[in-house]
Amino acid sequence: MTAPSLTHVKCADCPIRHRAVCARCDSDELELLDQIKYYRSYEAGQAIIWSGDQMDFVGSVVSGVATLTQTMEDGRTQMVGLLLPSDFVGRPGRDGAAYNVMATTNVMMCCFRKRPFEKLLDETPHISHRLLEMTLDELDAAREWMLVLGRKTAREKIASLLAILARRDSSFDKANFQTESEFELSLTREAMADYLGLTLETVSRQISALKKAGVIVLEGKRHVIVPDMGRLLEEAGDDSDGGLLA
Amino acid sequence: MTAPSLTHVKCADCPIRHRAVCARCDSDELELLDQIKYYRSYEAGQAIIWSGDQMDFVGSVVSGVATLTQTMEDGRTQMVGLLLPSDFVGRPGRDGAAYNVMATTNVMMCCFRKRPFEKLLDETPHISHRLLEMTLDELDAAREWMLVLGRKTAREKIASLLAILARRDSSFDKANFQTESEFELSLTREAMADYLGLTLETVSRQISALKKAGVIVLEGKRHVIVPDMGRLLEEAGDDSDGGLLA
DNA sequence: TCCATTCTTTGACCCAGATCAATCGAGTAT
DNA sequence: ATACTCGATTGATCTGGGTCAAAGAATGGA
């Protein structure tokens, strides 16, 4: 179940202690990866990639939060992915970007030049294997989100999003299942609305409602405390474990 | 762009002229595939897989239509994927099924026993490579559907679904772009509703509206004629090519 | 300090789509 | 024929969330 992580592998020579590809790589392969690797930072609000642009790299988020969004001509936008640290960006085998990628907070990306990375992929089965696994995980996540978008109420949508963020945030440790969690809410109300297929007003109202009901506690506007994760998952309409133990 | 298809490869010894894995395979590999391959048919309405079940095979749809659905405890259901001929089912590297898979019409599946298929995947980079490509395509499709679910009106949703079906149905040839299309609508109003995050009544009303507006013509309840694909795509809120030429 | 800007909250009202209910075929079993 | 079923249609009504509008926070210049 816990395959060698493609990310979050400590790396002695890397200032941010982040090796963005594969724990199973031998030192020659890591050498190759280092040669095609570079870091790049983006400021909050800045575009990382515009839909349709040529993409000459793939990579993964080291720190910060970025979003994948799709837009219709009339301006309606839908977030189709949330990129948290360790998430992969880019599509080997295709040049044009299919989505807008925006930095929500300041973002540090670990990038690999695309052509050499694709070459490496062809020559190194376990990297390609791991990438397949990650893509299948993303597909599962996207499909879970389709249920949220299609069938959940506004309140359930908000609770689902908060549950995801709580789960992904460092302070929540799923192995040592704890009922309390606490995290920084790095999305604006509008970004949440775009993720949930709602308006920002509805997001604000439902957050207030969850606050009033004691499901969450807000410190300031952005710091969220969840006194009881079970309660939050109930509000999200998830079955008891909410996929946390999956 | 048009990589060797994992499916739809003619196969002399196969009664349905469908080789479900890879055009680049050499004859030894095809031999191996044949050894782990079997066909299985399902009746309309029958479950192919229940969420949570052990899955001992992966495979692809040869004929018919199947659906991937997720269900909440209270019965709300959301279709998260539509499986048309050539679509792949199953997740190498995971045993439990994550969704319900239901046969909407009579379905013929080409199955591969899972363990040997995974072994083949490990040993045959181009199969694994092709599977990655297909998974990335599915991910794109899922994300496109998130936009539909989150931001489109009921009418646009119906038009989007009809456009997808028209595109996938044999009679529509995207290389030779034609303005008219015609296909069999193999989903009930309820199944469409589950795909679109609507109720079956709304689906029925919007189909009636599109019919009245001349966007589609119905012969009986299930045979759809689209006099002008451009018009349909407009109704779907898609940009002009609607991804048809992507 | 005082704007100005950006994000957020809250209120009042409205409407697209849900809900509830009745009816209408088209099979098909009796 | 008649009665049942299952899907589809259509109508009447209700409501969750959208829309429009105003007013609070928080931040950052000048």
CB contact under 8 A, A146 and B142: yes
Separation between Cα atoms, residue A137 and residue A246, nearest integer Å:
11
Please report residues of B whose CB lies closer than 8 A to that of A144.
70
Q: Provide the positions of strand C that have an atom within 7 A of a protein CB.
A: 7-12, 16-21
Domain contains B51: yes
**Protein A40 CA to nucleic acid D28 C1', in Å?**
27
Taking residues A190-200, report their average pLDDT: 98
Last residue of a domain, one of B146, B173, B207: B146
Domain contains B74: yes
Please report residues of A whose CB lies closer than 8 A to that of B146.
70, 78, 80, 142, 145-146, 149
Is the CB of residue A204 inside 7 Å of nucleic acid strand C? yes
Domain contains A2: no
Same domain flag for B122 and B33: yes
ipTM for the whole complex: 0.89
Please report residues of B whose CB lies closer than 8 A to that of A147.
70, 72, 78, 80
Same domain flag for B103 and B214: no
The answer to whether B145 faces chain A, any CB pair under 8 Å, is yes
**Each residue of A9-36: pLDDT tens digit?**
333 333 323 344 455 556 666 677 777 8
**Protein A201 CA to nucleic acid D19 C1', in Å?**
10
**Protein B62 CA to nucleic acid C23 C1', in Å?**
39
Taking the stretch 34-93 of protein chain B, residues with Cβ within 7 Å of any atom in nucleic acid chain C are none
Separation between Cα atoms, residue B19 and residue B31, nearest integer Å:
11
pLDDT of A244 > 60? The answer is no
Q: Report the footprint of strand D: residues with C-beta closer than 7 angstroms.
A: A 153-155, 197-199, 201-202, 220-221; B 188-190, 200-201, 204-205, 207-208, 218, 221-222
**Each residue of B9-20: pLDDT tens digit?**
433 333 333 344
Please report residues of B whose CB lies closer than 8 A to that of A76.
151
Range(s) of the domain holding residue B62: 27-146
pLDDT of A103 > 90? The answer is yes
Structure tokens at B9: 């490869």
The answer to whether A125 faces chain B, any CB pair under 8 Å, is yes
Same domain flag for B52 and B128: yes
Domain contains A14: no
* Number of domains comprising chain B: 2
Same domain flag for A158 and A88: no
Last residue of a domain, one of B90, B116, B146: B146
Cα angle B95, B88, B80 (rounded to 5 degrees) comes to 80
Same domain flag for A115 and A48: yes
Confidence of residue A62 (pLDDT cuts 50, 70, 90): confident
Same domain flag for A139 and A86: yes
Residue in chain B lying closest to A74 (CA): B237
Last residue of a domain, one of A145, A165, A198: A145
Same domain flag for B49 and B102: yes
Please report residues of A whose CB lies closer than 8 A to that of B136.
91, 93-94, 135
Q: Exposure of A131 by Cβ count < 10 A (0-12 exposed, 13-18 middle, 19+ buried)? A: buried
CB A49 within 8 A of CB A81: no
Same domain flag for A39 and A112: yes
Domain contains A3: no
Cα angle A57, A58, A60 (rounded to 5 degrees) comes to 135
Separation between Cα atoms, residue A3 and residue A130, nearest integer Å:
8
pLDDT of residue B100: 95
**Each residue of A147-171: pLDDT tens digit?**
999 999 999 999 999 999 998 875 5
Count CB atoms within 10 A of the CB of residue B124.
20
pLDDT values of chain B reduced to their tens digit, one per residue, 246 residues = 333 334 334 333 333 333 444 555 566 666 777 788 888 999 999 999 999 999 999 888 888 899 999 999 999 999 999 998 878 899 888 888 999 999 999 998 888 899 998 888 888 887 788 888 888 989 999 999 999 999 999 999 999 999 999 988 755 555 555 688 899 999 999 999 999 999 999 999 999 999 999 999 999 888 999 999 999 999 999 865 444 444
Q: What is the mean pLDDT of chain A?
A: 83
Q: Which of A70-79, A110-119, A187-196 has the lowest mean pLDDT?
A: A110-119
A66 or B12, which is more confident: A66
pLDDT of residue B174: 56
What CATH number has the domain bearing residue B85? 2.60.120.10
Domain contains A245: no
Separation between Cα atoms, residue B116 and residue A239, nearest integer Å:
34
Whose CA is closest to A78, among B159, B144, B82?
Answer: B144
Buried b (16+ CB within 10 A) or exposed e, A213-246: eebbeeeeeeebebeebebbbbbbbbeeebbeee
In residues, how long is chain B? 246
Q: Which long-range contacts (CB under 8 A, 24 or more apart) does A24-30 make?
A: A24/A126, A24/A130, A25/A124, A25/A126, A25/A127, A29/A120, A29/A124, A29/A127
Separation between Cα atoms, residue B129 and residue A131, nearest integer Å:
10
The answer to whether B94 faces chain A, any CB pair under 8 Å, is yes
Residue in chain A lying closest to B118 (CA): A129
Separation between Cα atoms, residue A22 and residue A240, nearest integer Å:
33
Confidence of residue A196 (pLDDT cuts 50, 70, 90): very high
The answer to whether A8 faces chain B, any CB pair under 8 Å, is no
Is the CB of residue B108 inside 7 Å of nucleic acid strand C? no
Whose CA is closest to A232, among A223, A219, A241?
Answer: A241
Same domain flag for B105 and B189: no
Residue in chain B lying closest to A138 (CA): B139
Separation between Cα atoms, residue A134 and residue A6, nearest integer Å:
9
Q: Checking DSSP bridges between strand A223-226 and strand B57-63, what pairing results, if any?
A: unpaired
Structure tokens at A66: 């970025």
Same domain flag for B115 and B190: no
Whose CA is closest to B92, among B53, B66, B118?
Answer: B118
Separation between Cα atoms, residue B190 and residue B196, nearest integer Å:
10
Separation between Cα atoms, residue B155 and residue B232, nearest integer Å:
11
B162 or A119, which is more confident: B162
pLDDT of residue A171: 56
Whose CA is closest to A100, among B189, B147, B107?
Answer: B147
Is the CB of residue A209 inside 7 Å of nucleic acid strand C? no
pLDDT of residue B27: 62
Same domain flag for B230 and B141: no
What CATH number has the domain bearing residue B177? 1.10.10.10
Domain contains A15: no
Q: Which long-range contacts (CB under 8 A, 24 or more apart) does A169-173 make?
A: A172/A229
Whose CA is closest to A136, among B47, B166, B94?
Answer: B94
Same domain flag for B187 and B162: yes
Count CB atoms within 10 A of the CB of residue A94.
16
Taking residues A210-219, report their average pLDDT: 95
Separation between Cα atoms, residue B60 and residue B109, nearest integer Å:
6
Tokens 């405890």 identify what position?
A: B73
Domain contains B15: no
pLDDT of A123 > 60? The answer is yes
Structure tokens at B30: 């095809």
Q: Provide the positions of strand D that have an atom within 7 A of a protein CB.
A: 7-12, 16-21, 26
